[in-house]
């Protein structure tokens, strides 16, 4: 995962599970898009594991991925004033 270029930047990493009826790639996209609705500054995603549900006919019916999403924490206004 990418670390922000400026010195002293802090990145937080959260773990999520995304899913899709279509593919593992879509499951990753769903996890990132959903996270992006409440998080800013997303910088990277790592796929930790993947799995799928199988129906009675042996078909894959739901793709799931466990991902870690990294995002840069924003400095508060007070911290920004202190650092100039």
CATH of the domain at 53: 3.30.1660.10
> How many domains is the chain partitioned into structurally?
1
Cα separation, 47 vs 24, in Å, equals 10
Structural domain contains residue 82: no
pLDDT for res 78: 35
pLDDT for res 77: 37
**Global confidence as pTM:** 0.78
- Arithmetic mean of pLDDT, 52-69: 97
- Arithmetic mean of pLDDT, 58-70: 97
Structure-model confidence comparison of residues 14 and 6, the more confident one: 14
- Arithmetic mean of pLDDT, 31-45: 96
Structural domain contains residue 17: yes
**Where are the strands (E) in 1-84, listed by range?**
11-20, 42-54, 60-72
Q: Which domain holds residue 40?
A: 11-76
* 30 has a pLDDT exceeding 70: yes
Structural domain contains residue 32: yes
């Amino acid at each position: 995962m990418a670390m922000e270029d400026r010195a002293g930047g802090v990145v937080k990493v959260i773990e999520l599970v995304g899913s899709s009826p279509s593919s593992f790639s879509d499951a990753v996209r769903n996890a990132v898009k959903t996270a992006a609705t409440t998080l800013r500054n997303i910088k990277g995603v790592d796929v930790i594991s993947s799995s799928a549900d199988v129906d009675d006919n042996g078909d894959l019916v739901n793709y799931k991925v466990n991902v870690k999403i990294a995002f840069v924490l924003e400095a508060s206004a007070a911290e920004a004033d202190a650092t100039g």
